Structure 1
Amino acid sequence: MKFANLQMSVSCLATLALGNINPRFTTCRSGLRASSQQYLSLKDATIDELGAGLDSGQFTSVDLVKAYLDRIGEVNDVLHAVTETNPDALALATELDAERSAGFTRGPLHGIPILIKNNIATDDKLNTTAGSYSLLGARVPRDSAIANKLRSAGAIILGKANLSQWANFRSNNSTNGWSALGGQVYGPYYPNQDPSGSSSGSAVSSTLGLASGTLGSETDGSIISPSSKNNNVGIKPTVGLTSRNLVIPISEHQDTVGPIARTVKDAAIILQAIAGVDPYDNYTSAIPDNGTIPDYVAACQLSALSGARIGVARNAIELLSSSISSAQVTAFEEAISVLEAAGATIVDNTNFTAAAEFLNSTVEMQVLQADFLVNLASYLELLTENPNNVTSLAGVRDFTQSFPAEEYPARDTAVWDDTIFKQGWNNTDPRFWPAYQQNLYYGGEGGLLGAIERNNLDAVILPSDQSPTFAAGVGAPIVTVPLGFSPANMTVVKNSWGLVTDGPNIPFGLSFMGAKFTEAKLIGFAYAFEQRTNIRDQQQPYIVPSTELIDVVGQ
């Protein structure tokens, strides 16, 4: 906190304590900058609210960028959520401010700063590394389609968010949120909190208002899990709704890119901008209605749950009972009552018939390993600059094992070792097809899609800590929304690296899971639940940056 602002800040706190102003806003300013204008709290501000402030001239996109950069600087040495900020962010903001001043705006993301996961490639001064030194300095031939769509929508790519290295597809003995380049991401609700992974930095950045929203990617849990553990809304889109071209891959059959944000509507706004057909990703040709994208923002209706048929897969909950606490069980049952009161029909015991078999199967890992061998090499082949000359998984493995900062063997390469030496076959091998078909069965007839079809459901709900794997293999969508927090007297649970995997006030979420390309329905359900509960506001992080717009406007 700036010393010049200390006296004014104390009086602000006193005013807040007296309940005289909404804590989402502040009217306090120091010295010659004193004003009666209200400024949004960046930890809570929505994209619509920021857009309104930009339209009214209350602040500029340059102000927003300055404030977010300062907020990152305040907490990043502790939480390691951001690996790199964009040196061109202020110049981009200036250009977008000029467009707005000339009467032109591109949409709700015009001039809005967004952080993106450090596996989504950008053709600018930022690195795209998946957290590995092996790709430091590598260049791509163009922006990824995702980055290009953000820019076209007027968003400012503020920087790259830290992640679990290689999107949690390297080691069997590492930690969620650790990368060699970025260090260990920590969650903001308890010291040394496990942030979950792999879109850890994206989730933490969203929670604390280090940007207006973020992007993550998911293969199996990497958007939903960190969103759940960091009190966010996360949308894992149907595989093929968002392009994966020039996104460092794991699996073409399961990878997808989606938003992590503080509200359902914010996440819907970001998804609206990045969804769509991309000629560089043929999976996007499966988007229904000749690639027409629904209005996800319009789906945010309080009445969305009225008449909806929502299933509960009790056997999935029971099979994974060790993964959730009693507090989560209680909150989940209370959520069912909220959904019913909102007009939904709850269809209980809409079980995933092959769930037990699936959880004892290795076919998903076989599919991922087979894809990774081919998909990673294809990505590396596209690089226009490749300083470490890594052209295959074997080359990346050799670099990792020989470069001290990669912390091998303390953090092993067991996933890659198994991929190359134990399994040894890729997705062009005859052994791939039966494994892939079995994986589809576990998510289809024997899993989520079968339950939806048999019971004529609009969605299935599960605690978010249990949901991702049941949608992953078949590429189905999930939306997670805050559901609750561990109790204040919760016993602290740590893993072998000392990360707190559960403890007082750590968040958890509720997942709405659906058939392919039903994101609009799921967004509506999540919005209707969010608006009735406002759970996100019931607990605050233990660490919050103090810089606000008030500190930068006019400077």
Structure 2
Amino acid sequence: MAAALVAGTLWAGTPDVRADDGTSAPASAAGLGVDLDTVTIPRLQARMAKGSLTSKALTSAYLRRIDTVDPKVNAVLRTDPTALRQAAASDERHRAGRARGPLDGIPVLLKDNVNTRSLPTTAGSLALAGSPPDADALLVKRLRKAGAVILGKTNLSEWANFRGAKPTSGWSAVGGQTHNPYVLDRNPCGSSAGSGAALAASLAQVAIGTETDGSIVCPAGMNGVVGLKPSLGVVSQDGVVPISAEQDTAGPMARNVVDTALTLAVLSGRDGGHPAGAQALPDAQVRPGSLHGKRIGLWRLPELGPDVDALMTRTAGKLRKAGAEVVEVTPPYQKRLAELEFPALLSEFHRDIDAYLATRKGPRDLAALIEFNRTHPEEQTCFAGQELFEQALAAPSTDDPAYKAMRAELKDLSRRSIDETMATHRLDAIAAPTNPPAWTTDCKRGDNDVIPSSTPAAVAGYPSLSVPAGSVGELPVGVLLTAGHHQDAELLSLGAAVERRLQAWRAPRYLPTIGTGSAR
């Protein structure tokens, strides 16, 4: 409810946020009367309420785009054969005046590590490519209850990029390689690669990603869309293939902040001992679109290259012109966080993947999964390694005192890195580059993705939001906004104001290449 309130107060009129540079044709759909690239959920619902648009027509338009555009991008693994029936049911509710809310009739793509009872859920692995799960993930139940149309499943980095030491983002044995829609030989980044690329190509209105560290926000930044990693516990972990219960969260991705906020309002809620989404998103009247008086800390990260640094300088200048105060900051403890995070995740992965595999047909634990990969050559067509699986199998138990001390230190230092920085400089948020320009996809080399901006919020369980900031040549770069504990609503409000000021979104051109080598 609070996320919907934030969306409503910020986006009355829902302005166009794309940069009209004349380089991209809009994703118009014949007879639909909307530009799929730029239309927002409030505008779609207004049309549905008037009877000038149906969910069935909207869903059909997205299915046609998947048929015609996705062969270039390879972001969608499969569509749901019941999608048009779901849409027709939504149309009946709209006609009867019983629409269930902003997502009723809105097509949504799910990352293929989110359980769906009617579709395979594979985490990109052939080991799970048999029978679908017995039940929907809780977040899927919430989407269905809200009337959303489950359009299909997106490709991902196999096992959420937690298998090989040098993985290639966007590749899975089930789905092959997803491409960046802006330049097709460039990488889409992170494990939610298919969700980010699908949104950039306007293959759905919203998509669901998941993140342990960077896997929502980096695909959002690198594909020029919006992605929110919510505070830990705002979205249920139930029915999502895990890496670590201490950091994992699903979250909404969209082409604008208002759709992101409205989707979060549906995804959030109570789940056992987790905090309620309503508590995490406090009701507060938000002044729409104002950056005046906001204090934002700029964390430059020059290791991402001079072009990205220059873009952050321009971004800071635009925010200052809008009345924000921008001060340069460097959050502390980053070296120690980098030392501790990976060993902790190894122990947690072994615990959590064993628990998940016990609920599915196929390998019943991590040891059996390792053996499956050894005996199935199809799992080795891009990269053969499963070093992270093997290290996790040998990692200390989560009952080990050394592990417990490591996770406690991680939680303390990550929260202090954000809290102390924000308190010292009296900040509303920390801003940093989300990503470098996309590197060339190369199975032999693997990823080139050491991107530290996502780590503090990911480890702390705090929210972070990537909003398009601009491009380096043809390649999008996002600005990552990080806020304090359970400040999701405030972050969405600020993100919408930043989005409106920057107006950096532009449609992809599906260029085959722009040169060779890494973009760094």
TM superposition score normalised by structure 2? 0.86
Alpha-carbon distance in 1 for matches of 2:260, 2:217: 13
Shift of residue 485 of structure 1?
0.8
1:471-517, CA deviations, whole angstroms, 9 ceiling, x for partnerless residues? 22111111110011112xxxxxxxxxxxxxxxxx0100001101111
Aligned-pair Cα RMSD in Å: 2.3
Aligned to 2:14: none
Q: Is the 8 A contact 2:32 2:58 kept in 1?
A: no
Choose from 361, 365, 372 the match for 2:342: 365
- SS of the aligned residue for 1:265 comes to helix
The count of corresponding residues between Structure 1 and Structure 2 is 474
Matched to 1:464, the amino acid is: T
Deviates more, 1:429-438 or 1:267-276: 429-438
Alpha-carbon distance in 2 for matches of 1:474, 1:292: 15
- SS of the aligned residue for 1:59 comes to coil
Are residues 1:527 and 2:513 paired?
A: no
Shift of residue 277 of structure 1?
1.1
Shift of residue 410 of structure 1?
3.5
Q: Is the 8 A contact 1:116 1:157 kept in 2?
A: yes
Q: 1:207 to 1:299 in 2, by over 3 A?
A: farther
Aligned to 1:163: 156
Are residues 1:119 and 2:120 paired?
A: no
Q: 1:245 to 1:196 in 2, by over 3 A?
A: same
Aligned to 1:151: 144
- SS of the aligned residue for 2:411 comes to helix
Matched to 2:128, the amino acid is: L
Aligned to 2:434: 464
Are residues 1:269 and 2:262 paired?
A: yes
**1:377-416 counterparts in 2 under 5 A?**
377-383=354-360, 386=361, 388=362, 390-407=363-380, 410-416=383-389
Shift of residue 136 of structure 1?
1.3
Stretches of structure 2 lacking an aligned partner (at least 5 in a row): 1-20, 436-451, 513-520
Alpha-carbon distance in 2 for matches of 1:329, 1:299: 31
Aligned to 2:328: 348
Q: 1:67 to 1:25 in 2, by over 3 A?
A: closer
Q: 1:23 to 1:50 in 2, by over 3 A?
A: farther
Q: Is the 8 A contact 1:82 1:159 kept in 2?
A: yes
Q: Is the 8 A contact 2:234 2:280 kept in 1?
A: no
1:114-163, CA deviations, whole angstroms, 9 ceiling, x for partnerless residues? 00100111122x11110111111244342211101111111011111100
Aligned to 1:432: 403
Aligned to 2:483: 514
Q: 1:96 to 1:131 in 2, by over 3 A?
A: same
Shift of residue 532 of structure 1?
1.6
Query: Radius of gyration: which is bigger?
Result: 1
1:496-549, CA deviations, whole angstroms, 9 ceiling, x for partnerless residues? xxxxxxxxx010000110111111111111111111221103x633269xxxxx
Are residues 1:451 and 2:421 paired?
A: yes
- SS of the aligned residue for 2:371 comes to helix
1:165-208, CA deviations, whole angstroms, 9 ceiling, x for partnerless residues? 00000012320100000110000011211110110000011111
Q: Is the 8 A contact 1:442 1:473 kept in 2?
A: no
Matched to 1:142, the amino acid is: A
Q: 1:355 to 1:52 in 2, by over 3 A?
A: same
Alpha-carbon distance in 1 for matches of 2:37, 2:216: 20
Are residues 1:328 and 2:315 paired?
A: no
Shift of residue 300 of structure 1?
7.9
Q: Is the 8 A contact 1:276 1:293 kept in 2?
A: no
Choose from 488, 505, 510 the match for 1:542: 510
Deviates more, 1:213-222 or 1:368-377: 368-377
Matched to 1:391, the amino acid is: R
Matched to 2:376, the amino acid is: F
Q: 1:486 to 1:25 in 2, by over 3 A?
A: closer
Q: Is the 8 A contact 2:158 2:171 kept in 1?
A: yes
Choose from 374, 389, 411 the match for 2:351: 374
Matched to 1:72, the amino acid is: I
Deviates more, 1:174-183 or 1:373-382: 373-382
Q: 1:337 to 1:239 in 2, by over 3 A?
A: same
Matched to 2:121, the amino acid is: T
Alpha-carbon distance in 2 for matches of 1:138, 1:405: 19
Choose from 460, 465, 469 the match for 1:474: 460
Shift of residue 294 of structure 1?
3.5
- SS of the aligned residue for 1:427 comes to coil
Matched to 2:94, the amino acid is: R
Q: Is the 8 A contact 2:354 2:365 kept in 1?
A: yes
Are residues 1:83 and 2:80 paired?
A: no
Shift of residue 288 of structure 1?
7.8
Q: 1:38 to 1:210 in 2, by over 3 A?
A: closer
Alpha-carbon distance in 1 for matches of 2:207, 2:250: 11
Matched to 1:353, the amino acid is: P
- SS of the aligned residue for 1:204 comes to helix
Alpha-carbon distance in 1 for matches of 2:27, 2:239: 39
1:348-376, CA deviations, whole angstroms, 9 ceiling, x for partnerless residues? 33x222223434x1x10111111111111
Aligned to 2:295: 309
Q: 1:486 to 1:143 in 2, by over 3 A?
A: same
- SS of the aligned residue for 1:512 comes to strand
Identity of aligned residues (%): 34
Choose from 46, 51, 71 the match for 1:52: 46
Shift of residue 24 of structure 1?
5.7
Shift of residue 440 of structure 1?
1.7
Choose from 82, 99, 116 the match for 1:105: 99
Q: 1:188 to 1:292 in 2, by over 3 A?
A: closer
- SS of the aligned residue for 2:108 comes to strand
Alpha-carbon distance in 2 for matches of 1:482, 1:25: 19
Matched to 1:542, the amino acid is: Y
